A and B are shown apart, each in its own frame.
Chain A
Amino acid sequence: MTRAFDLFYGAHQALRSVTLEVPSNSVTAIIGPSGCGKSTLLRSFNRMNDLIPGVRTAGQVVVSGRDVYAPGTDVVELRRRVGMVFQRPNPFPKSIFENAAFGLRLLGIRDRGELEARVEQSLRRAALWDEVRDRLGRSALQLSGGQQQRLCIARCLAVEPEVVLMDEPAAALDPTATARIEELVLDLKKRYTIVIVTHNMQQAARISDRTAFMLMGALVEIGDTRRLFTSPREKLTEDYITGRFG
């Protein structure tokens, strides 16, 4: 999916010739120490880095056969195909229903019946429906952190993206909520391609098919998750996963 991709924040190079492939309908985990460029890489897939002044890129990021950094790319359309869930739950200060319906309205769906059906469907997929079915009109900010995060996942799923990017989606959650999100990810890969950043190696091992290990902006190793954790090819990977790292 990415080929020899570089990204600079001004003079600082945050990604160094990263090349990795993400097979569809699978979960790819990105691990690595803080500041190694995981979020930056993730945000390159849907060009969220464009919003930061002074960002320059080189190389390609290919989604469904097209280079998203090619001139003339419709970023708005790209972001509809590549959804994102952030580290901190960030529901809009609107009702639960309006949060889940936001992307649908963007697609121009006005019909109340269709909106309701698709909101319910996405809330079910995000395993939140049963908890909120009777209070869809309430403010999303009244939900717990874990519920908010699942709402953000539902909001993202509602527009049927092809790829779902998740940046430490469970970082701000307690173990129970984390477990629910993990179950959810496993369930979602049947329909979506998922790239998930995590600091938790057990989590990566539990939910991902492939794991990528990054260090200082470079991709050190990527491979089948079980293989990478049991017999890493690179010394650096081994040091990191055994906790012998700085």
Chain B
Amino acid sequence: MSRARPERIGALPVRGPSLPRRAWNAGLLAACALAAAAVVLPLGLIVAHLLAQGLPALDLGFFLHLPKPVGEPGGGMANAIVGTLILVGLGALVAVPVGVGAGLYLAEHGDGRVGALVRSTADVLSGVPSIVIGVATYGLVVVPMGRFSALAGGIALGLLMLPTIVRSTEEVVRLVPRSYREAGLALGAPRWRVTQQIVLPAASAGIVTASLLALARAAGETAPLLFTALGNRFWSLRLDQPIASLPVFIYDYARAPYDEWNRQAWAGALVLLLLVALVSGLLRLTVRRIPGR
């Protein structure tokens, strides 16, 4: 309302906000734009660099072939690409059901002691460095099994994803309006049915997004895999055997003293990035299809 009224200071008509105020406005706006650019810039640089270094080493063979011995040209990382998919899939298999279940519990019944305990455990777990998770899984899975395995790697990645999924599920479930729950209960739905058929679907988009973020982060983890899945230069789909993965390959190849391997490491990094982008893009599309959104 007061906007339309021309401001006057004394007898001087002043058009719009005063000069210092405008200067502040412009200054703050510029600062925000700069900060926004600072967020985008590193990603842009990373992508540009990866493209420049990785693209030349990337060909169809990279996706189809196994690694070649040193000195032989060509070869690819087919086993590592599939291995990463298997490891992340295993991790998700562990972490998504458990995480979503625990998150639902926290949101719907988590006001007591047990809830507080679960919540702080999840928070502590999310603060544990990934290499420690790797060592712990080594002790808990690799040592009893007697060997490194895809299974152990999957579990390590699952542990890594778990706290993010738990806490974000709790948050998005809490955001589901109370009125939905009341409507369901007023129709004579038992509480578990309200949770399962109303609350969970209403929160599903948020849960998928959160799980996705957790998955994407885990896909790039190297440290927990070094002690669990180890790595493998050969083709293997067996869960009880060591398995190759992109991050470990990148790690090995980038440190190797051979130019050919270094080039392949770049290509591997590029593929990893594309893989993560692809998966999240696809899942985002599916989320949008969920009715009611």
Bound CA–CA A110/B2 (angstroms): 60
Q: Are A155 and B187 in contact (CB under 8 A)?
A: yes
User: Smallest CB–CB gap between B55 and chain A, Å?
Assistant: 43
Query: How far, in whole Å, are A141 and B293 apart by their CA atoms in the complex?
Result: 9
Contact indicator A106/B193 (Cβ below 8 Å):
yes
Given A90-B177, A139-B291, also A106-B189 (CB < 8 A): yes
A95 within 8 A of B: yes
Among B186, B189, B197, B202, contact of A84 (Cβ-Cβ < 8 Å): B186
A102 to B185, CA, bound (A): 11
Given A93-B201, A95-B291, decide whether A103 and B180 contact each other with a Cβ distance below 8 A.
Answer: no
Report the separation of the CA atoms of residues A51 and B185 in the bound assembly, to the nearest whole angstrom: 10
Instruction: Classify chain A: how many residues form its interface, as a range.
Output: 20 to 34
Q: Does A140 contact B (CB under 8 A)?
A: yes
| Complex Cα–Cα for A141 and B292 (A) | 7
Contact of B59 with A by CB under 8 A: no
A92 and B198 within 8 A (CB): yes
One digit per residue, 1 when the CB lies within 8 angstroms of any chain B CB and 0 when it does not, for chain A 118-153 equals 000000000000000000000111000000000010
Q: Is the CB of B188 within 8 A of A95?
A: no
Type the 1/0 row for B73-112, where 1 means its CB is closer than 8 Å to any CB of A: 0000000000000000000000000000000000000000
Interface membership of B71, Cβ < 8 A: no
Contact partner of B183 (CB less than 8 A), chosen from A46, A141, A152, is A152
Asked if B292 and A79 sit within 8 Å, CB to CB, the answer is no
Given contacts A95-B291, A102-B187, A102-B189, 11 further A-B contacts (CB under 8 A): A84-B186, A86-B186, A88-B179, A90-B180, A90-B183, A92-B198, A95-B292, A103-B189, A141-B292, A155-B183, A156-B187
Question: Which of A's residues lie within 8 Å of B, judged by CB?
Answer: 46, 48, 51, 76-80, 83-84, 86, 88, 90-95, 102-103, 106, 139-141, 152, 155-156, 159
Q: Would you mind naming 20 contact pairs between A and B with Cβ atoms under 8 Å apart?
A: A48-B186, A51-B185, A76-B188, A76-B189, A77-B188, A79-B185, A79-B186, A79-B187, A80-B187, A90-B179, A90-B180, A90-B182, A91-B183, A94-B201, A94-B291, A102-B184, A103-B189, A141-B292, A155-B183, A155-B187
